A and B are shown apart, each in its own frame.
Chain A
Amino acid sequence: MWRFAWKNLLTRPLRTTLALIGLSIPILGVLGLYSISGGLKNLVDDTLEKIQGVVVLRENAPSPVFSSLDPEYVERIAALPHVKNVAAEVWGFPPSVEGTSFMAKAASTELLGRLRGQTQQQRMQNLFDPVILSGQDIPAHQGLQTAVFANALLPPDQGGGRFLDHRDVGQNRIVISRKLARDFAGPDGQPKQVGDHLTIGSGDAAEDFEIIGIYDTGSMFLDGVMITDIDVARRILNVPDTMVSNIYVEADDPRRMSEVASAIEAALPDVDAREMDELSTDFTRLLGDLDKFLLMIVSLALLVGVVGIVNTMLMSTTERFAEFGVLRTNGWSRGDVLRLVTAESAYLGLWAGLVGSVLAMVLVALGNQFIGGGLKLVLGPGLLGFGIGLSVVMGVLGGLYPAWRASRLVPMDAIRLGAR
């Protein structure tokens, strides 16, 4: 019967192809969205893996940029059991870098990119990169085991320079990422190097910074950060010395991280002490909600695809009334006719799923050529299987009503109707 169903589809190739396209595009959409979502999840996990400690923020603050804490908390946390290192940080958006503000930069990314002769890949990366200034308590950070940016410094033979140390306290010296070095390239198009200078702020408030180090974490979430001394950052960001953005904490034993986080939250009720596992779980939950929202949008496209299948199968069954009558006279039951038509629509769904999957594989491969910043779209066998399965289910659903209608025909009437 499956072979018969397959032959029925091939009888009208144009109609079959159109219905197939109608369903394969939403399937492509589903796979595309989930591949982006999966890529983001992997990127976040990779990024958080680099940060091993506990980040202490004001309660419910989404990130260090939007957090403010009393600097006295540093000493209170340091006094807690099993706390080994405590390092205060100030975070914020700098008013402007090299004469370009954050908002202006976002707005002019495409235009400037084109004028500078940047590749499409570079221009797309620029869309994801707000520049953030991080001020570190340098002596405290020097004691950290898991200092993300210091550990990501490029090797000397690649122009990595050095990280901030006691010589840089109170000095206009800065460490930037390889990506920012490229984004703020000189007039000759050459990326900034160690020893070059960078202007932060504008007008009378503009300050000149010497670049002393270049790092590369490979994550778009981290590579937009410029690091300098905490007091220098306070001056640039207008942050009073009565506050810090967050406090980075390491335990004497990494296995005691949860214990330390709980102790911090117990001692300081107005803070969140976030472990990276916890952040990862939060982000996964957020992505899950985003997936649901996106799936609702894609469902509309899926619905249109299913309506296309219904239409195709209705036309097909209406043209074949006499055929169904003949099948019934030859002992086919209503269920047999129902299965035949449903098998045809299931085939349509299967092929739409395969076409959608192949298109998604091609587009993901192309996308991965153009999107950088550590984001790799993910389209594994599980997701492909889900896409094909979803397409088959949609195909079957689309075929149910036409199949039911065909199966309800009285054989005699079917033959007479078909003969007209």
Chain B
Amino acid sequence: MIDVVDVIKTYRRGEQRVEALRGISCQIPRGACAFIVGPSGSGKSTLLYLLGALDRPAGGSIRIDGADLTGMSEADLNAYRRDHIGFIFQSFNLIGNLTALENVLIPFLPRGVSASLRDRAEALLDEVGLSDRKHHRPRQLSGGEQQRVAIARALIKDPVLVLADEPTGELDSKTGDEIYRILRRLQTERATTLVVVTHDRRFIRPDDLVLEIQDGQLLTDS
């Protein structure tokens, strides 16, 4: 369960103080699929990054399965991200000089990659349909293939939470559909909580949780 309570986030832009999130509270059950929607600049991505422990709120608290992210030290946040959270970005963000397989293994590079981890990475690439593209570099892959590598990278650590920021924003609709099919399948199989920021509501199903944000405030929680 993700428990967000009265979260506030402010930025300084020059002399101006911008309130990106103004007291947002919500709950996302474990294993659910939640969509954060709203107009550009409404604070969707800010909320996503706060859930991913990439930034700290100015007020309020965020708990994931009982762990209070707002009270963690820098080192604990790093470890939490490394072990429990997977990220998928709009522009894939693969490392250009690493192969698909090495990109999947990025979270483990600083501490060494064991043979079992390598096997797991290969199995994940097989699952996303890239069994014959493991040793290709990002520039040798299509956009859809790169996003599938990013999905495998997000799942390599068996995360409790996968966060996706406009994962189909740079893909055509057919490839976007394919990416959502893969994401849905893997999320269901692993019972992982999936939170997606999107402008495209056609991927939302009736049983999904929708968090609609406008001007830094939650409009609906359905």
Contacts and interface: CB of A to CB of B under 8 A. Distances in A.
B93 A11 contact: no
A11 B54 contact: no
A1 interface: yes
15 contacts: A10-B97, A11-B97, A326-B93, A327-B106, A328-B54, A330-B81, A330-B82, A331-B79, A331-B83, A332-B107, A333-B110, A336-B110, A339-B110, A412-B49, A419-B91
Contacts of B52: 329
Interface in B102-129: 102, 106-107, 109-110
A415 B93 CA distance: 9
Chain A interface extent, by class: 20 to 34
Interface in B56-95: 74-75, 78-79, 81-83, 87, 89, 91, 93-95
Pick the 10 closest A-B CB pairs, nearest first.
A331-B82, A336-B110, A330-B107, A333-B78, A7-B97, A326-B93, A329-B87, A411-B54, A331-B81, A11-B97
A8 interface: yes
A326 B95 contact: yes
A320 to B, nearest CB: 9
Interface in A1-30: 1, 4, 7-8, 10-11
B191 interface: no
Contact of A323 (B78, B83, B95): B95
A417 interface: no
B109 to A, nearest CB: 5
A1 B110 contact: yes
B96 A11 contact: yes
Contact of A412 (B54, B97, B102, B157): B54
A322 B93 contact: yes
Contacts of A333: 74-75, 78, 110
A20 to B, nearest CB: 18
Interface of A: 1, 4, 7-8, 10-11, 322-323, 325-334, 336, 339-340, 410-412, 415, 419
Contacts of A339: 110
A88 B30 CA distance: 104
B82 A8 contact: no
B55 interface: yes
A8 B81 CA distance: 24
Interface in B147-189: 153, 157
B114 to A, nearest CB: 14
B5 interface: no
A329 B54 contact: yes
A182 B52 CA distance: 84
A10 B55 CA distance: 33
Contacts, number: 67
B24 interface: no
B98 interface: yes
Contacts of B153: 330
Contacts of B82: 330-332
Contacts of B74: 333-334
A340 B95 CA distance: 14
Contacts of B94: 326
Given A4-B102, A326-B106, A331-B78, 4 more contacts: A326-B87, A330-B106, A331-B107, A412-B54
A331 B82 CA distance: 4
B168 to A, nearest CB: 17
A81 B90 CA distance: 97
A3 to B, nearest CB: 9
Contacts of B81: 328-331
Contacts of B75: 333
A245 to B, nearest CB: 71
B18 to A, nearest CB: 14
Contacts of B107: 330-332
A244 B162 CA distance: 96
A122 to B, nearest CB: 55
A7 B98 contact: yes
A329 B153 CA distance: 11
A262 to B, nearest CB: 65
Contacts of A10: 97
B75 to A, nearest CB: 7
Contacts of B157: 331
B57 to A, nearest CB: 13
Nearest to A340: B110
Contacts of B98: 4, 7
Nearest to A7: B97
Interface centre among B81, B91, B107, B110 (most CB of A within 10 A): B110
B97 A330 contact: no
B103 to A, nearest CB: 9
A162 B65 CA distance: 102
A8 B97 CA distance: 7
B78 A412 contact: no
A416 B75 CA distance: 22
A415 B109 contact: no
